[in-house]
Amino acid sequence: MFRAIDRFLDLDGMREALRPFYSHLGRPSIDPELIIRMLVIGYVMGIRSERRLCDEVHLNLAYRLFCRLGREGKVPDHSTFSRYRHGKLRDSNLLRQVF
């Protein structure tokens, strides 16, 4: 199912669109593509809790592959995920373009 979604999910230019919302100081930011891919999983699978979504992505190999994390990639903490969704992604209007 996620392979079919991946064919239609166009995230080109997303990093450039979100560039004004990132600081060049401090620790590296989480890839916005990962956040969008996790949101897609949440919407498709009906996962409403950000904490549960992070747990599911951590445990499910199909979700990890869709998010391009592989077996060893780190899933963001649910609090970081919340800040992205309620801050940078909302302010940028990017979610309307993707969905």
91 in a structural domain: yes
What's the pLDDT band for 18 if we cut at 50, 70, 90? Answer: low
73 in a structural domain: yes
37 in a structural domain: yes
* This prediction's pTM: 0.75
Label residue 79 exposed, middle or buried (CB < 10 Å: 0-12, 13-18, 19+). Answer: exposed
Domain of 75 in residue numbering reads as 31-99
4 in a structural domain: no
Rg of the Cα trace of the chain? 13
Q: What is the residue whose two structure tokens read 């998010």?
A: 67
7 in a structural domain: no
19 in a structural domain: no
pLDDT at 95 over 70: no
User: Over the stretch 32-84, which tens digit does the pLDDT of each residue have?
Assistant: 788 888 888 998 999 999 999 999 999 999 999 999 998 889 998 888 877 77
Q: What is the residue whose two structure tokens read 């391009």?
A: 68
CA pair distance 49, 5, nearest whole angstrom: 21
Beta-carbon contacts of 33 under 8 Å, excluding residues fewer than 6 positions away, are 11, 14, 15, 68
55 in a structural domain: yes
95 in a structural domain: yes
Tally of domains within the chain: 1
